[in-house]
């Protein structure tokens, strides 16, 4: 299939209702960090962009939101063409310009503090990171607490960024500035807003 | 979508266009991630005047889906003009199921009350907010209030509450009582009576706030600390009422005063009409309940 066909195919079948369903899953996941929301396959983006991450991008990105792609996604012209056709989102020149960042390989990603953190006056002007993960249960356990969590909750995404727990602690300390994370796994998603604290599990 | 000849116009689902919804949805997510922070958003004109809940309507329109069940209250009542017209609006533009029952609603849009019936996880409470900035009447400049929030400089608010005490002997603020969210942002809980402030604290429901004219959205996620500002020697306390609801006899609920005649006659009734009706259906009645007579006649023979 050539790039032109690939980029036109695979959008939402019902743009209005699918976007709403995906948004509600993200909203519930953001409001209750650590809970895993189910998401049926609604988008079929070209690899290596996953169906879940593609659906998140379709429901949140448009011509107002520069999107930054990590190198595996950047290398795939079809991904850029697909995002461009379906969302109209411009690509961000640097991570610090991005409203959203799609990360296919979180293990090798740039440091969290390289993305837009917002300012003390406008902490909302920060990057939301969409990390593609294989699942939400097979990696090292992250015990979570903070707003949206009654006592504690737990997720275990594999292949997270290097020194993630330490990087996330620094992200917490920058509050109200900081980045938020959407974890996109096949069929599921979960969120880590900047308020969520990770309690270390070792020992 | 095929336009029926009877329809005057064909709108997108839930009235707003998709790009507007995306913009509001992004603001909502930022609001949830930064509890109590007012996220600026590009508020649209709605087919109702500012002050009628355009902020709440835009938030509701952006989150609502065909499976949602919507309840709208105005000062606790399901049957006042604002509530009826917003409910009718969504029935028409989103074709959703509407209800007055607090427990079955998935989205509750509210003007200045939190229902008496405890909310549950999964419910979303959408507040209509007139002035989102709690510091606005103390400092009119947006540039300054923004800096005050950035620096967490809330001394002025405490001075205002202290001046209340100096003048009246107590904190005289009874509605829009300022709260601190998760120990960081001072937030206006919208002009709800301070009676409802404790219900915001660690509520299992998600609370979203929309201010249409002022173009701000903010949020309180579930299980988030919402603490009313006070002083050690003047702790925060809610209103209490001397008498129970005149219709359903409920105590520890928020009551409205209703004038009965022009000779000073009045009664106090539940502001939450759904709560009041449910209690009366369950057989509770106050001293002025109209059906008291009938109800007792109907039920007494059984005893």
Place B303 in a pLDDT band, splitting at 50, 70 and 90: very low
Predicted local distance difference test score (pLDDT) of residue A201:
62
Task: Write down the ipTM of this complex.
Answer: 0.96
User: Of the candidates B105, B98, B147, B101, which has an alpha carbon nearest to the alpha carbon of residue B122?
Assistant: B105
Active site residue B248: yes
Q: Quick check: B299 pLDDT over 50? A: no
Predicted local distance difference test score (pLDDT) of residue A6:
78
Token pair listed for B127: 């507040």
Given an 8 Å threshold on Cβ–Cβ distance, is B25 in contact with A59?
yes
List pLDDT tens digits, range B117-175.
Answer: 999 999 999 999 999 999 999 999 999 999 999 999 999 999 999 999 999 999 999 99
- pLDDT per residue as tens, chain A (203 positions): 677 777 888 999 999 999 999 999 999 999 999 999 999 999 999 989 999 999 999 999 999 999 999 999 999 999 999 999 999 999 999 999 999 999 999 999 999 999 999 999 999 999 999 999 999 999 999 999 999 999 999 999 999 999 999 999 999 999 999 999 999 999 999 999 999 999 876 54
Phi then psi for residue B66, to 5 deg, are -60, -20
Mean pLDDT (whole number) for B234-259? 92
B151 touches chain A (CB under 8 A): yes
Give B116's Cβ-side CA count (13 Å radius): 19
Active site residue B212: no
Place B206 in a pLDDT band, splitting at 50, 70 and 90: very high
Given an 8 Å threshold on Cβ–Cβ distance, is B28 in contact with A121?
no
Predicted local distance difference test score (pLDDT) of residue B114:
95
List pLDDT tens digits, range B12-26.
Answer: 999 999 999 999 999
Token pair listed for A16: 């209005």
Task: Tell me, letter by letter, the H, E, C secondary structure of chain B.
Answer: CCCCCCCCCCCECCECCHHHHHHHHHHHHHHHHCCCCCEECCCCCCCCCCCCCHHHHHHHHHHCCCCCEEEEEECCECCCHHHHHHHHHHHHHCCCEECCCCCCCCEEEEECCCCCCCCCCCCEEEEECCCCCCCCCCCCCHHHHHHHHHCCCCHHHHHHHHHHHHHHCCCCCCECCCEEECCCEEECCCCCEHHHHHHHCCCCCEEEEEECCCCEEEEECCCCCEEECCECCECCCCCCCCCCCCCCCCCCCCEEEEECCCCCCEEEEECCHHHHHHHHHCCCCCCCCCCHHHHHHHHHHHC
Predicted local distance difference test score (pLDDT) of residue B302:
36
Predicted local distance difference test score (pLDDT) of residue A4:
76
B12 touches chain A (CB under 8 A): yes
| Chain B CA closest to residue A152 | B223
User: Of the candidates B121, B34, B109, which has an alpha carbon nearest to the alpha carbon of residue B76?
Assistant: B109
Cα separation of B98 and A147, whole Å? 30
* Burial class for A14, CB neighbours closer than 10 Å (0-12, 13-18, 19+): exposed
Q: Quick check: B298 pLDDT over 70? A: no
* Burial class for B77, CB neighbours closer than 10 Å (0-12, 13-18, 19+): buried
Predicted local distance difference test score (pLDDT) of residue B9:
63
| Chain A CA closest to residue B219 | A31
Predicted local distance difference test score (pLDDT) of residue B8:
52
Token pair listed for A150: 């009654």
What is the C-alpha end-to-end distance of chain B, expressed in Å?
A: 60
Q: Quick check: B296 pLDDT over 70? A: no
Predicted local distance difference test score (pLDDT) of residue B6:
54
Predicted local distance difference test score (pLDDT) of residue B288:
84
Given an 8 Å threshold on Cβ–Cβ distance, is B12 in contact with A16?
yes
| A1 or B46, greater pLDDT | B46
Residue B242 Cα distances to A155, B96, B169, B252, B254, angstroms: 50, 40, 21, 10, 11
The 8-class DSSP code of residue A93 comes to S
Catalytic residue among B36, B55, B56, B210: B36
Q: Could you give the maximum distance between any two Cα atoms of chain A, in Å?
A: 53
Place B205 in a pLDDT band, splitting at 50, 70 and 90: very high
* Share of residues in chain B with pLDDT > 70 (%): 93
- Four-residue CA torsion sign, B279, B281, B282, B286: positive
Q: Quick check: B5 pLDDT over 80? A: no
Token pair listed for A41: 């396959």
The average confidence (pLDDT) of chain A is 94
Cα–chain center distance at B85 = 16
Active site residue B249: no
Do the bridges between strand A188-192 and strand A37-38 make them parallel or antiparallel, or are there none, so unpaired? antiparallel
Q: Are the beta carbons of A164 and A129 closer than 8 angstroms? A: no
Place B289 in a pLDDT band, splitting at 50, 70 and 90: confident
User: Of the candidates B10, B124, B20, which has an alpha carbon nearest to the alpha carbon of residue B62?
Assistant: B20
Do the bridges between strand A142-145 and strand A197-199 make them parallel or antiparallel, or are there none, so unpaired? antiparallel
Of B62, B146, B184, the CB nearest to A121: B146
* Share of residues in chain B with pLDDT > 90 (%): 85
Of B12, B34, B221, the CB nearest to A31: B221
- Whether the bond between B220 and the residue before it is cis, its omega within 30 degrees of 0, is no
Cα–chain center distance at B2 = 37
List pLDDT tens digits, range A73-110.
Answer: 999 999 999 999 999 999 999 999 999 999 999 999 99
Interface of A with B (CB under 8 A): 15-17, 19-21, 23-24, 26-28, 30-32, 59-62, 64-65, 99, 119-124, 126, 128, 147-150, 175-176, 180, 193-195
B63 touches chain A (CB under 8 A): yes
Contacts of A31 in chain B (CB under 8 A): 32, 206, 219, 221-222
Mean pLDDT (whole number) for B89-108? 94
Cα separation of A61 and A49, whole Å? 15
User: Of the candidates A197, A139, A185, A149, which has an alpha carbon nearest to the alpha carbon of residue A39?
Assistant: A185
């Amino acid at each position: 299939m050539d790039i032109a066909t690939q980029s036109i195919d695979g959008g939402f079948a019902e743009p209005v209702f699918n976007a709403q369903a995906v948004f509600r899953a993200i909203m519930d996941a953001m409001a209750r960090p650590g809970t895993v929301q189910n998401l049926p396959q609604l988008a079929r983006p070209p690899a290596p962009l996953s169906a879940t991450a593609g659906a998140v991008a379709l429901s949140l990105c448009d011509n107002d939101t520069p999107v930054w792609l990590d190198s595996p996604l950047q290398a795939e012209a079809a991904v850029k063409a697909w995002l461009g056709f379906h969302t109209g989102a411009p690509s961000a020149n640097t991570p610090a310009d991005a409203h959203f960042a799609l990360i296919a390989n979180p293990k090798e990603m740039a440091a969290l503090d390289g993305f837009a953190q917002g300012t003390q006056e406008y902490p909302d002007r920060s990057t939301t990171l969409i990390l593609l993960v294989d699942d939400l249960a097979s990696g090292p356990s992250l015990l979570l607490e903070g707003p949206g969590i009654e006592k504690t909750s737990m997720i275990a995404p594999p292949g997270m960024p290097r020194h993630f727990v330490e990087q996330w602690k620094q992200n917490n300390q920058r509050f109200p500035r900081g980045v938020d994370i959407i974890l996109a796994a096949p069929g599921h998603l979960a969120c880590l807003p900047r308020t969520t604290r990770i309690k270390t599990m070792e020992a | 979508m095929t336009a029926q000849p009877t329809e005057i116009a064909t709108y997108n689902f839930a009235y707003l266009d998709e790009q507007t919804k995306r913009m509001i949805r992004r603001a909502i997510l930022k609001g949830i991630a930064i509890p109590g922070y007012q996220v600026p958003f590009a508020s649209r004109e709605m087919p109702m005047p500012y002050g009628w809940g355009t902020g709440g309507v835009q938030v509701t329109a952006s989150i609502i889906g065909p499976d949602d069940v919507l309840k709208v209250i105005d000062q606790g009542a399901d049957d006042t003009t604002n509530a009826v017209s917003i409910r009718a609006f969504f029935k028409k533009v989103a074709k959703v199921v509407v209800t007055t029952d607090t427990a079955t609603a998935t989205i509750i849009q509210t003007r200045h009350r939190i229902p008496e019936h405890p909310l549950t996880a999964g419910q979303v409470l959408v507040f209509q907010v007139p002035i989102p900035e709690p510091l606005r009447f103390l400092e009119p400049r947006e540039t300054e209030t923004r800096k005050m929030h950035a620096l967490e400089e809330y001394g002025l608010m405490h001075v205002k509450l202290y001046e209340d005490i100096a003048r009246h002997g107590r904190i005289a603020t009874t509605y829009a009582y300022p709260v601190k969210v998760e120990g960081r942002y001072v937030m206006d809980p919208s002009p709800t009576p301070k009676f409802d402030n404790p219900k915001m604290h660690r509520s299992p429901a998600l609370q979203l706030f929309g201010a249409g004219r002022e173009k701000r959205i903010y949020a309180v996620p579930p299980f988030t600390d919402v603490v009313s500002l006070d002083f050690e020697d003047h702790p925060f306390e809610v209103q209490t009422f001397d008498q129970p609801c005149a219709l359903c006899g409920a105590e520890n609920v928020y009551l409205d005063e209703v004038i009965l005649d022009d000779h000073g006659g009045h009664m106090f009734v539940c502001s939450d009409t759904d709560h009041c009706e449910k209690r009366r259906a369950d057989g509770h009645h106050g001293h002025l309940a109209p059906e008291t007579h009938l109800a007792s006649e109907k039920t007494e023979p059984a005893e």
